[in-house]
Chain A
Amino acid sequence: MSAIVIPPTRTADAAAGRTTGPIASVGPIVKRQLLKFLRTPQLIILGTAQGAMFLLIFRYVFGGAIASSGLSYVNFLVPGFIATTALFTGMGAAAGIAEDLQLGFIDRLRSLPIPRYSVLAGRALADTLLLVWSLAVTAAIGFAVGFRLHGSLVGALGAFGLCVVFGFAFEWVFIALGMIAGSAQAAQGIGFMVFPLTFVSSAYVPTSTMPGWMRAFANHQPITDMVNAVRVLAEGRAAQHALGHNASYFIVWALVWSAGIVAVFAPLAVARYRKG
């Protein structure tokens, strides 16, 4: 710091007194999140390896012992596994937001003339983009272990799109958790609610083998409808027969759940952000 060059003072340009527009304010937040991910290779490798490992364990270790009527287990499992990918990648968002809050990063952003929703919306958008990558990798591993599509191409693309929609919806749950948790560790801890939510659903095993009280929960929670929607779209008639409803039934429910989750958790997260 030997020579200090003093830049000329400038008033905040023509924008004085105005708030930065939605695209200009969300863009840099998305960029930061993407760069953070791309420049942390251990995150990418670990995440991918972990997903692959669990898929292999279910497919080859538990798979043989699980009876899935009407569908082969691999065709039952992989749609469920892909649809729940969002929940496991989302856990990182809760911890990340809590950390940003703890380290004053959110304070800096809150002191800037940008709309109140843009920081959280940027985060949700960036994480959803990253989710597309995770979903593609998970699907590729699924195909490698013997998963095959039995529906139409449009159905398969629709299934993928639905997974992205769930991911976006659950992202808001994790953002809200991260805003409320108080610390990254606490957020991580609360994030473990993902386990009962995903395991007590039709994601990995048919709910019919669960005890009555548990089945009642499993059959009426969002993951089951979402997973079944993906399953029916990917596997067509066989899945429809095994699950007892047609595609539109599950798709409508899956979308209703997604909309409901966003409607509850996005305002919660933004309200918490506003309050500081």
Chain B
Amino acid sequence: MVRSYRTGGTGQDGHVASTRRGAARQADPVRYDFDFAVLLDYWPDFLAGAWVTLQLTFLATVFGMAIGTLCAIGARGKRRWLARAIGIYVEIIRNTPFLIQIFFLYFGLASAGLRLPVFTAAVIAMVFNVAAYCSEIIRAGMDTVHPGQIEAAQSLGMSTPTIYWDVILRPAIERVYPALTGQFVLMMLSSSVASQISTEELTAVANNVQSFTFRSLETFLAIAPMYLALAALLKLSFWGIGLLAFPRRRRLGTAL
């Protein structure tokens, strides 16, 4: 738990009141009085949860992007065994649920004697997950780079790292940028699954709050717009990053 919950005052009152309402509810099943006001007390907790969600997303985006790019390079490389291994990794991740992956990692490592903090476990699971998707997307982008461009770069005497960075990767990522950012937004949303190993992100906070207030429907109705806001924030920042990273879009306003 991020912070200790106030048990006195509103918490207790809320409890009693909601039990009473629960009794009334049974007598009259159709009427339900929405009470969002009790949730207001918990806004610092929601904020803390949203902050953890953002941290998870940021770390998973940065590391997932890095590993995904390396995997994409490896998957197109000359070493057959490496390409094969990356292919197997990508297929395994893409064809199993994230929930199973996170359980496998967290409970598996714990049973093997390595007790990871839940936050670290969630980040590792998310990185492994999103890197597989990234590598597929970036690979698709790299496939669109015309071989003639690479030959031209080679005949200009560019070194292999320069070719990879300037001729292959940057245009490739610019082309698939919308798909990549979409994937990262989806990943932010699926970080809610990390609540199942009790990482204290937004959904886990909601779970705690609803068990304190007995206002489960209101609590989850309240965090839906918070996720919408986070998604909007994420899209806005990716748009900004896109403008910074791809001068063509900024100066000419045209996509590649």
The judgment on whether A and B are partners is: no
Binding site for A on B (CB under 8 A): none
Binding site for B on A (CB under 8 A): none
